[in-house]
A and B are shown apart, each in its own frame.
Chain A
Amino acid sequence: MSRATEFLLRRRGGERWHWTDVFTWFWLAGGLVLMFGPALWLVNSSFKTPAALAEFPPTILPYVTAQATVEGYDRPLPLYEVAGEDGRPRVLAEVRRIGIVAQMVDPQEPGETIRVNIRDRTPKRSVSFATDNYVEPFVAFDFLLYLRNSVFVTVMATLITLITNSMAAFALSKYNFTGRSAVMLLIIATLMVPLSVILVPLYSVISAMGLFNSLWGVILPTVATPTGVFLLRQYMLTIPDELIDAARMDKASEWQIYWRIILPLTAPALAVLAIFSVVWRWNDFLWPLIVLSRKEVYTLQVGLNTYAGELNVQWHFILAMTVVTMIPVVLVFIFLQRFITTGIAGTGLK
């Protein structure tokens, strides 16, 4: 005991505990619970059956109540453990409940009904993961389609973002031309124009181009990101111009210089932009919500929101699909968070 507390309370440098140390410990522990807890609770709940989800108080593990088909009754009856007269527990099936008295039968001898006070019985339950929550939305609903749409949007938008942004950044960092500062100013100005300000006219542009209810209508407006151009330009500025001069000496075309020299050297910045672009596009909600109005073109986010907004919310499916929607970002988080957290400090991207 004393050694355990000593270990827990040990402090670097062996100094005395200060209230700020207690506070730090409290804040970190609280943060751990508060930041991960809700998502873990979601994952946990997603493995429960609708009956288990409706239970209050909620259980930690996903239990199901055991049921048995009893002769003479159409539907399966829930099983309970009841203390018998001789003190030995018996397993009985509930036929119906009236107030605090339940009418029960022995599954083996369904003839006689036994009246039991509901306080004297406990449900017979076992742990079981409701994997149907995950299978059924894919098989019976359109979630496989939504998943495909989301993947398509994310991959295409990220590819186009990387290509167009890097080309623009190359022109803006490696050439001196008239109007360069004007172009830069224009791009800075975009930072002030979030999508929510131009919803109506953008919608009419998309409709006029025939892109309403098309995944390209979701992809195209988002790819010319000013942040991406900025990030790549700042990085390209650090590449020495001598490399380009040497390539020109060797008769490389401008396109080849961009493709074979600049792009490979910009790989780290491209990787950061790619990660951000994947997270951005995967998570996009408002714009897809406006552009996509037919189920066949829904992305996961829009599909999930639509299902969650229905009158008869089927939480067991929604929880499972929310987990599926979370998976790509959680993978990014697990493997690439170091990249991102150090990247944000440097660039202020999000």
Chain B
Amino acid sequence: MANAAVGLAARAGAIILAPVGWLARVLDPPLRLMQKAGGQNGMVAFFLAPNMLIFGIFVLFPLVINIAYSMTGGSALFLEDRVFVGADQYRRLFTCGNYLDPGSCAEDLFWTAVWNTSTFVVFQVALMIGVALVTALVLNRDIRARSFWRAVFFFPVLLSPVVVGLIWRWILQREGLLNYMLHGIGLDPVVWLVERDWAFMAAIGVSVWAHVGFYALILLAGLQAIPKDLYEAAEMDGTRPARVFRRITLPLLAPNLLVVLVLTLIRAVQIFDEVYVLTGGGPGTSTLFITQYIYEVGFASLLRNPGLASAASILMGSVLVILTLAQLGIARKNEMRSKKG
């Protein structure tokens, strides 16, 4: 059945691609002339041009003017209409009586979002790695139909954040399935998305549910790369399983665990979509996270302030750059180690 589907997809692809093929043929004569004129380097430029142009306009240029934006004030959209205010936006973000108490800050929502995000990152990453690791260990056992079970845990990863948010809103609502189950075992119902702490925990749980399959797969790949003879040797020596896990599995899985740690950190700092659909940042501001703060200050609220949103996004970006650099550093270290081995 899968083959038939791939065949069908290939045929559909061929139909969609037919005009592209025709275009490629028509393009050949002028490109030949270009090659004659510009030589091989000209052709390199031609091949790189579309990607780099799009990349330049939509990633690089915005990145550069983002810094300029963060130093301007007012609500005008285009940079030339905006007033230069220097570091005022940053100053506003950092004006605070006590950083731990958002109420004492000029931008109380920003600090609420910062602390919410920090708490979220700590608990979500810990839970994510824990569940992913256990799942990977279970999937790595000698079980039947492993590819089926692998797929089971992977399924939610493909769902869109809107779908994830709505599925769980439906289950967690006052008269939803979860409350019915609680009722069934004699517990009082909870209005999950209306009580602050429960809504926060729901945000953590739902985001773990949606992404854990991805990280479990990375860890599973790492587990499967551990040479089997190490385990056989340990078995011959009569080593206890707990010791095998601590002395063989964990150290050899460490590089993968680090990669997963950094990836989950990077994604958790930017958490937005599924939580936004699930709770809308509420109740109150209990699930307001940094990205939603940027979105609301920059676009959604009536008193929109693009400069302030830019400044906040640059601060978040700096955290992400540090985390990504850590990831690249880890990757390089791994590469060197595997070259040595």
Interface residues of A (CB under 8 A from B): 12, 20, 23-24, 27-28, 31-32, 34-36, 38-39, 41-42, 45, 54, 56-58, 155, 159, 163-165, 167-168, 170-172, 175, 177, 183, 186-188, 190-194, 196-205, 207-208, 220-221, 223-224, 229, 253-256, 258-259, 274, 279, 282-283, 285-286, 289-290, 301, 304-305, 308-309, 315, 318-319, 322, 325-326, 329-330, 332-333, 335-338, 340-341, 344-346, 348, 350
Contact of B217 with A12 in the complex, beta carbons under 8 Å: no
Chain A: minimal CB distance from B112 (Å):
18
* List of A residues within 8 angstroms of B298 by Cβ: 199-200, 203
Chain B residues within an 8 Å CB radius of A325: 160, 162-163
Contact among B13, B32, B270 for A196, CB-based, below 8 A? B270
The residue that A197 contacts in the complex, of B160, B162, B214, B314, with Cβ under 8 A, is B314
Say yes or no: B214 contacts A344, CB within 8 Å.
yes
B226 contact set on A, CB distance < 8 A: none
A177 CA to B40 CA, complexed, in Å: 9
CA distance A34 to B181 in the complex (A): 14
Q: Establish whether residues A285 and B273, one from each chain, have CB atoms under 8 Å apart when the complex forms.
A: yes
Q: A-B pairs with the 3 shortest C-beta distances?
A: A283-B160, A345-B221, A168-B51
Residues of A within 8 A of B171 (CB): 38, 41
By a CB distance below 8 angstroms, the chain B residues around A221 are 54, 58-59
Give the contacting residue for B58; candidates A12, A38, A202, A254; CB below 8 A: A202
- The answer to whether A41 and B177 have CB atoms under 8 Å apart is yes
Cβ contacts B205-225/A at 8 Å (1 or 0 each): 000010001100110110000
Please name the residue on chain A nearest to B321 by beta carbon. A192
Interface of B is mostly: helix
Chain A contacts for B328, CB-based, 8 A? 188
Given contacts A223-B54, A319-B170, contact A329 B313 (CB under 8 A): no
**Chain B 69-90: CB-based contact to A (< 8 A → 1; otherwise 0):** 1000000011100000000000
Check if A315 sits within 8 Å of B320, measured CB to CB: no
| Chain A contacts for B170, CB-based, 8 A | 41-42, 45, 315, 319
Chain A residues with Cβ below 8 Å from B35 are: 253-255
Q: In the complex the two chains form, what is the Cα distance from A48 to B41 in whole Å?
A: 63
A326 close to B316 (CB less than 8 A): no
Nearest A residue (CB) for B155: A35
The count of A-to-B residue pairs whose CB atoms sit within 8 angstroms is: 282
Show the binding face of B for A, using Cβ within 8 Å. 1-2, 5-6, 9, 13, 16, 20, 24, 27-28, 31-32, 35, 40-41, 43-44, 47-48, 50-52, 54-55, 57-63, 65-66, 69, 77-79, 134-135, 138, 141-144, 147, 149-163, 165-171, 175-177, 180, 183-184, 209, 213-214, 217-218, 220-221, 241, 259, 266, 270, 272-273, 277, 280, 291, 294-295, 298-299, 306, 309-310, 313-314, 316-317, 320-321, 324-325, 328
The CA-CA distance from A20 to B59 in the complex, in Å, is: 49
Give me 7 A-to-B residue pairs in the complex whose CB atoms sit less than 8 angstroms apart, sorted by A's number.
A35-B156, A45-B170, A57-B184, A159-B16, A196-B291, A224-B59, A322-B163
- A contact residues around B273 at 8 Å (CB): 285-286
Residue in chain A with minimal CB distance to B3 = A335
Q: What is the chain A residue whose CB lies nearest that of B30?
A: A255
